[in-house]
Amino acid sequence: MVDQNIHIGEPKATLSMHPKKFALWLFIVSIVMLFAALTSAYIVKQADGNWLSFELPKIFILSTAIIMISSLTMHLSYLAAKRDSLGRIKWLLFITVVLGFLFLLTQYMSWSELVKENVFFVSNYASGSFIYIFTGVHGLHLISGIIFLLITFGKSLKAEVHSKNLVLIEMCMTYWHFLGGLWLYLYVFLLFNL
């Protein structure tokens, strides 16, 4: 005999994420693992001795300011998309792209400062090599972020970025914020471990 008082509950909601967002998070995790390995190798190599101490390029301060401002403009473009401010989305994305290129320029200029201090990629001291690797690998990821920004900017020109179509700009914002946070981590790490 079946008990009539048994209530079958509603099925529990499952956690879901857009497949492209999931892929982006997997990519971000792989970048985190890469830089965790690089900073760990830096600490191990530093403990070996034969370490050249030098000042970080002063332009890193400007680089940091630029990437933080670009993170703000990226976030403001996302908020503009949520409000369907199509003109603001375009301008803010454009400004973010320009700031991304300025960041890359300052990174290149930091390499020039390092060369003037006789700190080279290939030398007897690993400390200089690590600076070039950190900034170079981060720069490569930043180039991919700029490409992502340009794609998003192109879609915004066609009015394809708006409150009913936020996935692309959300992903772009997440990746750009991550790159800004990664740079902050690297800069602070180098300030305290050089």
Let me know: does 107 contact 56? Beta carbons within 8 Å.
no
Measured CA angle at 41 (ends 129, 119), to 5 deg: 15
Is residue 142 domain-resident?
yes
* pLDDT at site 2: 53
Per-block mean pLDDT, blocks of 10 residues, the chain (194 long):
57 73 95 96 86 87 97 98 95 98 96 89 79 95 97 95 93 97 96 86
Let me know: does 63 contact 103? Beta carbons within 8 Å.
yes
What's the gap between Cα 66 and its chain centre? 13
Residue 162 bridge partners (DSSP): 165
Is residue 96 domain-resident?
yes
Is residue 7 domain-resident?
no
* pLDDT at site 5: 57
Is residue 17 domain-resident?
no
151-158 contact pairs (CB < 8 A, 24+): 152/93, 153/90, 153/93, 153/94, 153/97, 156/81, 156/86, 156/89, 156/90, 156/93, 157/90
* pLDDT at site 70: 98
Is residue 19 domain-resident?
no
Measured CA angle at 126 (ends 65, 107), to 5 deg: 25
Measured CA angle at 97 (ends 180, 30), to 5 deg: 40
Cα–Cα nearest to 102, from 160, 158, 62, 42 = 62
117: which residues sit within 8 A by CB, 6+ positions away?
54, 55
Is residue 38 domain-resident?
no
Find the CATH number of the domain harbouring 137. 1.20.120.80
Q: Helix or strand or coil: residue 110?
A: helix
Is residue 36 domain-resident?
no
State the residue range of the domain holding 109: 55-193
Number of domains in the chain: 1
Is residue 39 domain-resident?
no
Single pTM value for the model: 0.88
* pLDDT at site 106: 96
Integer Cα distance of 186 and 110 in angstroms: 14
Instruction: Mark 134-157 as b/e (b = at least 16 C-beta within 10 Å).
Output: bbebbeebbeebbebbeebbebbe
